[in-house]
Amino acid sequence: MPTKEEILEFLRSLKPELESFGIKKVGLFGSYAKDKANIASDIDVVIESSEETIQKAGGGIKAIIYLEELRSRIMKRFKISADLCDTASMSEEKKQRLLQGVIYV
């Protein structure tokens, strides 16, 4: 089972690449961020994409594929399930509810 710090360090290592794709923020939330992870926990990662993300990826479908590949990289690195959440289209209310305790890198 990975530690919170291992996950955060991996996300930090991805940050330059993500920024080059127009992703404004990346962070960890959920049980790992709250130090409540157990053997059944998955890794919850939040990003905030932009219009630039879609353009730099080469279009909407390619942006979705890029984000799915990002999720796969996280899962392969830690050998557990991961969820990737993009806040770009969420209401502020939903962000507040979902992202309590988020740790941005």
Which of 44, 50, 48 lies closest to 25, judged by CA? 48
pLDDT value of residue 58: 81
pLDDT band at 18 (very low <50, low <70, confident <90, very high): very high
- Yes or no: say if 34 and 99 are a contact pair by the CB < 8 Å rule: no
Query: 55-93 pLDDT, tens per residue?
Result: 877 877 888 899 999 999 999 999 999 999 999 888 888
Q: What does pTM read for this prediction?
A: 0.90
> Is the domain 4-104 a CATH 3.30.460.10 member?
yes
- Cα 101 to the center of its chain, rounded Å: 14
pLDDT value of residue 11: 98
What residue ranges do the domains of the chain occupy?
Answer: 4-104
- Per DSSP, the residues of the chain read ---HHHHHHHHHHHHHHHHHTT--EEEEESTTTTT---TT--EEEEEE--HHHHHHHTSHHHHHHHHHHHHHHHHHHHTS-EEEEE-TT--HHHHHHHTTT-EE-
